[in-house]
Structure 1
Amino acid sequence: MGLEKILSVAGKPGLYKLITQTRSGFVAESLLDGKRISVGLRSNVSVLSEIAIYTLEAELPLREVFLKIQEKENGGKTSVGHKEDKIKLEEYFFEVLPNYDEDRVYASDIKKIVQWYNILVDKDIADFSEPEKDSESEKESDKESATE
């Protein structure tokens, strides 16, 4: 399962796996305790694959930040916990992503990233590679553009 199906729901702790869509929103399952919740369309929900982190040059997708953490930790959990003090979290994040924008990435953001990474590693959802595109649809679009 990729980050396209993993959600962060505002006001709810941890991460959620998208189960199904309903007329009024969707059903998600907590990765922490397995409980299912119904989430309305008005709720503030973020899909992890759509989140990016500010760097001094550009925005870096969260998937790539997770890959850098995974590389630093050799695939294991982080060496700092998400409840560490601000200085420790910032030092750790600087080791992982030396060019992150310190003015726009807050300690609370780093806490979430560390916590989310550890949850994903615990649940064996640590494949942060680029999702594969459907090669058939790419071939079809290439044919269409060639005939126009």
Structure 2
Amino acid sequence: MKLDKILAISGKPGLYLLQVQTRSGFVAESLVDGKKITVGLKSNVSLLSEISMYTNTEEKPLVEVMRNIAIKENEGPSISHKEDNATLLAYFEEILPEYDRDRVYPSDVKKVINWYNILQAKGMVSKEVPVKEEEVAKEELTEEIPIEEKPVKEKAPAKEKKATKK
């Protein structure tokens, strides 16, 4: 599941896919209705890949929380985000049992479930363990690649410049 180009824009419902960056902001496409909007630099925008949920011991990245929902629902849709708070919190406790009940509010749970359902409708959820691009690059570098040895030419020592008087 790749969330590095998925945006949540404060004051706008739903999620957006980052399209292009401009001088005055960027262009994003709504995942709900497909409309493109321009967003200024002063807007409060969050990348889903940078959001985490509080747990009793640490912060869990949103990617892991979404993956837990995908596993529970077998990559299908989850419950509606419009359920009552008690139902939402009970459902979320199944997804992330160690979540911090003092710092994670019902409104946060509603957002996560709503976002999951939006991404699921677009086929963007997965039960697969997310692999960071850095790890993929490291794996590619560790593969043995035959290197041809070429003779190294030694450079001649640089000539000294003579000082000239004027």
- In the alignment, structure 2 segments of 5+ residues that lack a partner are 143-166
> Identity rate of aligned residues, in percent?
56
Q: Relative to structure 2, which stretch is displaced further, 37-46 or 121-130?
A: 121-130
Decide whether the 8 Å contact of 1:5 with 1:17 is kept in 2.
yes
1:126 is displaced (CA, Å) by: 1.2
Q: CA deviation at 1:131?
A: 3.2
Runs of 5+ in structure 1 lacking a partner? 141-148
Cα distance change of structure 1 residues 39 and 97 upon mapping to structure 2, 3 Å threshold? same
Task: State how many pairs are aligned.
Answer: 139
4+ residue segments displaced more than 4 Å: 136-140
Q: 1:135 aligns with which of 134, 137, 149?
A: 137
The 8 Å contact of residues 8 and 45 in structure 1, kept in 2 or not, is answered as: yes
Aligned equivalent of 2:48:
48
Q: 1:40 to 1:109 in 2, by over 3 A?
A: same
How far apart are residue 132 of structure 1 and its match?
Answer: 2.8
Q: Counterparts of 2:32 and 2:110 in 1: how far apart (Å)?
A: 16
User: In the aligned structure 2, how far is the partner of 1:138 from the partner of 1:23?
Assistant: 35
Cα distance, 1:130 vs. partner?
2.9
1:2: Cα distance to partner? 1.6
Deviations 1:78-115 (A, max 9, x none): 0x210011100000000111100010000000000000
Contact 1:2 1:131 in 2 (8 A): no
The answer for the alignment partner of 1:121 in structure 2 is: 120
Q: 1:124 to 1:58 in 2, by over 3 A?
A: same
Q: Flag the structure with higher helix content.
A: 1
RMSD: 1.8
Q: How far apart are the structure 2 equivalents of 1:26 and 1:137?
A: 33
Structure 2: which amino acid aligns with 1:73? E
CA distance in 1: counterparts of 2:138 and 2:60, whole angstroms = 28
- CA 1:73 to 1:22, structure 2 compared with 1: closer, same or farther past 3 Å? same
SS in 1 for 2:76: coil
Match of 1:100 in 2: 99
What is the distance in 2 between the residues matched to 1:36 and 1:137? 37
TM-score of the aligned structures, taking structure 1 as reference length: 0.88
Deviation string, structure 1 residues 8-50 (Cα, Å, up to 9, x no partner):
0000000000000000110000000000000011100000000
